[in-house]
């Protein structure tokens, strides 16, 4: 495969679709499958484990779990277990969750960069199979380590990717992690500043590592018979996010005035019917700047644009006709 690709699966897919996409990716040379866990819609670990049992080659990452809802020791042993299921294929993608959900479940975001540093420091100590004692502001551990039980107890190689967007979290990722797993709806131009922040963190490393990996989820929709239908699938997705998570606007280059107009027309909560009413406010050019949509050739060219901007492995998130989108991208990637 000329262009390394991953796929992103999550709550917008049924479990049947999730496993079908994962198996197709495994059989067609995709590098990775990333399992989303965001809203209280579906856990990410259970599908990741099932995917591990159904596949043989792809890496299985979480894209992403959060550092609030699972104790760091439980997170560590969860991924140790996933590595037992799929040796050498597990990736821990982790983010800081988001508001207002974090507050609603009693885990409000506070000092997200500092808390992420503590959490990852503890995870890495567990993965080295060392005794963990840590007295932090957010994480406390006292003389704990993996319990061997009936198996040999040894270090596990679990790469940690931070789901980062803002410059301070990107810098932290460069300093302490193995990679960055960037979110969708960010244009290729965003990578300029992102890489600068990552490089600033890499300069602080003490392990001799001079680079980290960079993956990014890209919302994709293919329709070779009706390209506008594919564009509209991504437009509905972008409109929904601008209406309900307007903080993304500054990252994808959307003026506040447009966000206000979309929110006014969509209302709250934004129903599918309301999103359809708001979609005409969003121009095709904006949609095509932050997603890959249209014909197969247009979508693959956009994925290459992300790659050339610095994303080593674009991660396909299917919208619209999901089966056509994934199969056409897989065919195009084979050249």
DSSP string, 87-112: TTTEEEEEE---TTHHHHTT----SH
Structure confidence by residue, pLDDT tens digits, 129-165: 999 999 999 999 999 999 877 778 889 999 999 999 8
Phi, psi at 45, each rounded to 5°:
-75, -40
Query: Per residue in 46-100, pLDDT tens?
Result: 999 999 999 999 999 999 999 999 999 999 999 999 999 999 999 999 999 877 7
Q: How high is the mean pLDDT of the chain?
A: 95
Indicate the class that CATH gives domain 6-220+291-333.
Answer: alpha beta
Query: pLDDT of 198-240, one tens digit each?
Result: 999 999 999 999 999 999 999 999 999 999 999 999 999 999 9
Residue 251: pLDDT band by 50, 70, 90 thresholds?
A: confident
Domain ranges of the chain: 6-220+291-333
pTM: 0.95
Of 215, 220, 185, which is closest to residue 59 (Cα–Cα)? Answer: 215
Helix axes 45-54, 15-27, angle to 10 degrees: 40
State pLDDT tens for residues 106-137.
888 899 999 999 999 999 999 999 999 999 99
């Amino acid at each position: 495969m000329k262009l390394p690709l991953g796929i992103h699966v999550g709550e917008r897919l049924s479990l049947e679709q999730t496993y079908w996409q994962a198996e197709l990716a495994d059989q067609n040379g995709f590098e990775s499958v990333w399992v989303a866990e965001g809203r209280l819609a579906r856990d990410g670990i259970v599908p990741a484990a099932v995917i591990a049992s159904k596949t043989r080659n792809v890496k299985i990452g979480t894209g992403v779990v959060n550092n609030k809802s699972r104790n760091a020791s439980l997170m560590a042993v969860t991924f140790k277990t996933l590595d037992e299921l799929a040796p050498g294929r597990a990736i821990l993608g982790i983010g800081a969750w988001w508001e207002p959900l974090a507050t609603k479940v009693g885990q409000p975001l506070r000092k997200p960069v500092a808390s992420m540093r503590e959490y990852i420091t503890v995870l890495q100590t567990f993965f080295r199979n060392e005794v963990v004692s840590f007295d932090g502001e957010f994480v406390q551990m006292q003389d704990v380590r993996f319990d061997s039980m009936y198996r040999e107890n040894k270090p596990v190689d679990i790469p940690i990717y931070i789901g980062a967007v803002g410059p301070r979290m990107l810098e932290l990722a460069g300093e302490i992690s193995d990679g960055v797993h960037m979110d969708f709806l960010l244009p290729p131009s965003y990578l300029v500043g992102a890489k600068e922040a990552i490089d600033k963190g890499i300069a602080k490393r003490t392990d001799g590592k001079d680079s980290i990996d960079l993956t990014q989820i890209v919302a994709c929709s293919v329709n070779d018979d009706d390209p506008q239908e594919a564009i509209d699938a991504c437009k509905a997705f972008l409109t929904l996010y601008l209406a309900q998570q307007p903080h993304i606007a500054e990252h994808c280059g959307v003026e506040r005035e447009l966000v206000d107009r979309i929110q006014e027309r969509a209302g709250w909560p934004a129903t599918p019917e309301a999103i359809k009413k708001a979609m005409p406010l969003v121009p095709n050019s904006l949609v095509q700047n932050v997603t890959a949509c249209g014909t197969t050739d247009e979508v693959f060219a956009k994925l290459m644009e992300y790659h050339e901007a610095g994303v080593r492995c674009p991660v396909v998130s299917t919208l619209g006709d999901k089966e056509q989108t994934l199969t056409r991208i897989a065919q195009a990637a084979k050249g």
